Chains A and B, each alone.
Chain A
């Protein structure tokens, strides 16, 4: 009982969700209140996580099924902050479509709870529970604009494909349980016998399931459709928050129970990484819808984050955490721009709608320019450093092929980012967009752009934060 305070964030979050649900049901027109309370809950949970768990040594609870260490605390805080930002900038969008309801923040909170459980998990069953909790909330979020046929389609597609991948994942879990006699990560690690081919099958099935959740090629097919169909604010959530949890599970799962089988899974991970980087870069070239383009670009970025995991060292893990953090920052800025392309209660999401943006909205265009160059990985912007750390970790393991393919695909990817810049800066202008965006939207755009721009002045801070991650 004495360690209950370590799971205080999760306990607090679940109680808050129940309370907010009851409040929303019994009090009429309370969506604004629930929204504000949810924001407060996210912040408080982040503060609790920071206070209670960030400094402590690795601790396992509940029969070793939950692990609290620096990695899990850090990733939980990033998840909570990202969810906070998503929630705070999406209210204008939701109001425009008249879907500003109490369910929205509550669903986001529940999926965040699921992610926190995933991040904490040290046991296949706990992990699976967390995964399903977050997925169920995400299915509903995808269909949140239920009068829109595309949104319903996105939700259904996501549900069917995700259920399939969960099935594969569960099958993998049962194989592993069958051969090692336990679902606990540490027990599995002790029982490992690399001669068991079926065990490798188990790993492969679980990797497939995880690759699906993180939308790595070749399990990415759902991503463009779901990203395009979902409401933009939900798409923003999809591209940022679940990836943090999935990446943590990737790291935990591969490095705790299966570290001894590194030769077996490293190949798979390198393949996933290369395929995602190349495919993400090439497939994005032909897109005309901005949200689809972002979907492919996020597939590419996941490939870079996985490259760090594939390196098989602490450096590699740290570099992928840095990568995902900077990626979240850039994505936040990108979507803030997308949410500003609004005219007469209508949001524009075609690439051509950016045309001539630099003349009508010079500041918006400049921010987007910086964010896009950063996504393309051009120095001295933050995106370059993210790639630099990943490739440093990769090259230290002499994985030159991965590094060279990755860097060449940045050149291909640069093409479609440049195309957006070209449309903004070189093409003829169109009608103006609205300028009365809420404070928080402007704030998130300005803050993310400035952070990307001046990251090169303070590059050490982020490294210091992640340097305490120590898995191996």
Chain B
């Protein structure tokens, strides 16, 4: 057997965390602790780049598969990647080191514990994206709650306890039904191996209920309207690095789950429930965009915009069109980069002024010009300006939607306009206008680490905006095969 690259990706951050755990945490060592964490996550990033280079995009088979007996006669530990999952792994390993760099400015106490939580989180999230067994998937999916709960609760803002509890209980409530569904699948098919389940299919009698059970978990995690209310709370109270992790990676677990499990395992049920998803997605796009328009807290505004963006994602997935699903994945990657950057931008001004309210600011363009330029770029990417990665995703999704359902596509397109409105208005109120609050004059521009992080995010945002081919090449074959399988199973009624 070859070098177990996926298991290494999963284990490496945890080993780094273990190492940090045994480092004494006084002031001086905090510093080394940070380098340990940064080093581990950077190595992990390069390892995942290596994975992408080795990855063969011409086949939809799972690659780098590792299989070991875990619980005898019951569950095998099985991991592997295909075109759909590999980009999410890259996103995770890319965002985590940036998070670790960003803690310089925002986390003041218990730094090494924070880094441990972030690294363990990274392990779990990579695990989610490459597990090929439902139980293993569930294990990683749920385990991520523990570090995130602590990140929000310990390092969060004023209402952190409420938000942490809401986050934890909401997501747990959604997922327990998924556990029932997973055990039922085991009982029906005698296996929880995803590849075998793809081949054998699931009894059509049970598909609807099973689909709903998975949906309950993914809908909360996505989050879809009307179960999105935990997200603004969690985002607002989490520390900057926590918000970044939450927005950039955690939300993607559900979108990934929809593609991998809802479409892959339950095609008949997906067909039946597509109108439900369309309705909820369109409501999410329009309704939460209007809510975002009225927010006075910058983080809350971006949180609601995340809900709207994830609305596009779920819409695109259930068009079951090549463009739609491709668009959804690119939209998720792009949202991962852009929302991370936007939260970091909010973090930058928050660290200086300790206020997230929009009306605190105004007219800062002349005080901190570098910041304003980068903030501008990400604002435009968020509203989907051509030339940024946001545009590619949204465009493909809407194209897929027009093929499938004209009315839904038209309404969703209107959402783009509202999206532009709230993002531009936010930018206008924060950056332009008259300088009223004189305290703002003491603000200093981006320091080196902030500039580094934001530039790191800006490069792929622009690059994939102009040249999305590397992304599309990676996912193309896997998606077309998924759709063929889907239609085939639908036709043969299994």
Q: A425-B154, A460-B71 are in contact. Are A392 and B186 (CB under 8 A)?
A: yes
CA distance A460 to B149 in the complex (A): 30
Query: B193 to chain A: closest CB distance in Å?
Result: 16
The answer, yes or no, to whether A160 is at the interface (CB within 8 Å) is: no
Residues in A with CB closer than 8 Å to B149 are 418, 421
Segment of A135-143, A228-236, A274-282, A401-409 in the binding face: A401-409
Of the candidates A378, A400, A414, the one whose C-beta lies within 8 Å of that of B180 is: A400
Question: Interface size of B by Cβ–Cβ distance < 8 Å?
Answer: 33
Query: A312 to chain B: closest CB distance in Å?
Result: 15
The answer, yes or no, to whether A84 is at the interface (CB within 8 Å) is: no
Q: A426-B160, A426-B161, A463-B71 are in contact. Are A403 and B145 (CB under 8 A)?
A: no
Of the candidates B72, B135, B153, B168, the one whose C-beta lies within 8 Å of that of A463 is: B72
The 6 A-B residue pairs whose C-beta atoms are closest, nearest first, are A407-B176, A379-B139, A395-B183, A460-B72, A459-B71, A411-B173
The answer, yes or no, to whether B376 is at the interface (CB within 8 Å) is: no
Could you list which residues of chain B lie within 8 angstroms of chain A, going by C-beta atoms?
69-72, 74, 135, 138-140, 142-143, 145-146, 149-150, 153-154, 160-161, 164-165, 168-169, 172-173, 176-177, 179-180, 183-184, 186-187
The answer, yes or no, to whether A128 is at the interface (CB within 8 Å) is: no
The answer, yes or no, to whether A434 is at the interface (CB within 8 Å) is: no
Q: A373-B146, A407-B176 are in contact. Are A415 and B138 (CB under 8 A)?
A: no
CA distance A378 to B164 in the complex (A): 15
Residues in B with CB closer than 8 Å to A380 are 139, 143
Interface of B is mostly: helix
Q: In the complex, are the beta carbons of A415 and B165 less than 8 A apart?
A: yes
Q: In the complex, are the beta carbons of B72 and A464 less than 8 A apart?
A: yes
Question: Interface size of A by Cβ–Cβ distance < 8 Å?
Answer: 29
Residues in A with CB closer than 8 Å to B142 are 378-379, 384
CA distance A410 to B173 in the complex (A): 9
Q: A373-B146, A391-B183, A415-B165 are in contact. Are A459 and B70 (CB under 8 A)?
A: yes
Q: In the complex, are the beta carbons of B173 and A408 less than 8 A apart?
A: yes
Q: In the complex, are the beta carbons of A418 and B183 less than 8 A apart?
A: no
Closest to B174 in A: A411
Query: B208 to chain A: closest CB distance in Å?
Result: 14
Query: Can you list 19 residue pairs at the A/B interface with Cβ under 8 Å?
Result: A373-B146, A378-B143, A384-B139, A391-B183, A392-B186, A403-B180, A403-B183, A407-B179, A410-B172, A411-B173, A411-B176, A415-B165, A415-B169, A421-B153, A422-B153, A425-B150, A425-B154, A426-B154, A463-B72
Residues in A with CB closer than 8 Å to B184 are 395, 400
Closest to B213 in A: A404
CA distance A426 to B177 in the complex (A): 30
Q: In the complex, are the beta carbons of B153 and A425 less than 8 A apart?
A: yes
Q: In the complex, are the beta carbons of B71 and A411 less than 8 A apart?
A: no
Query: B70 to chain A: closest CB distance in Å?
Result: 7
Q: In the complex, are the beta carbons of A422 and B71 less than 8 A apart?
A: no
18 new A-B contacts, CB < 8 A, other than A407-B176, A410-B176, are A378-B143, A379-B140, A380-B139, A380-B143, A388-B179, A391-B179, A395-B187, A403-B180, A404-B177, A407-B179, A411-B172, A414-B168, A414-B172, A418-B149, A418-B165, A422-B164, A426-B153, A459-B70
Query: A434 to chain B: closest CB distance in Å?
Result: 23
Q: In the complex, are the beta carbons of B70 and A395 less than 8 A apart?
A: no
Closest to A427 in B: B161
Residues in A with CB closer than 8 Å to B169 are 411, 414-415, 418
Query: B108 to chain A: closest CB distance in Å?
Result: 14
Interface of A is mostly: helix
The answer, yes or no, to whether A428 is at the interface (CB within 8 Å) is: no
Query: B145 to chain A: closest CB distance in Å?
Result: 6
Residues in A with CB closer than 8 Å to B71 are 459-460, 463
Residues in A with CB closer than 8 Å to B69 are 460
Query: B4 to chain A: closest CB distance in Å?
Result: 15
Residues in A with CB closer than 8 Å to B173 are 408, 411
Residues in B with CB closer than 8 Å to A415 are 165, 169
CA distance A408 to B177 in the complex (A): 8
Query: B175 to chain A: closest CB distance in Å?
Result: 9
Q: What does the 1/0 interface line of A367-403 toward B look like (CB < 8 Å)?
A: 0000001000011100010001001100110001001
Query: A101 to chain B: closest CB distance in Å?
Result: 42
Residues in A with CB closer than 8 Å to B177 are 404, 407
Residues in B with CB closer than 8 Å to A384 are 139, 142
Query: A160 to chain B: closest CB distance in Å?
Result: 39
CA distance A26 to B164 in the complex (A): 60
CA distance A459 to B169 in the complex (A): 27
Query: B320 to chain A: closest CB distance in Å?
Result: 30
Closest to A460 in B: B72
CA distance A380 to B71 in the complex (A): 14
Query: B467 to chain A: closest CB distance in Å?
Result: 40
Query: B126 to chain A: closest CB distance in Å?
Result: 14
Q: In the complex, are the beta carbons of B154 and A378 less than 8 A apart?
A: no
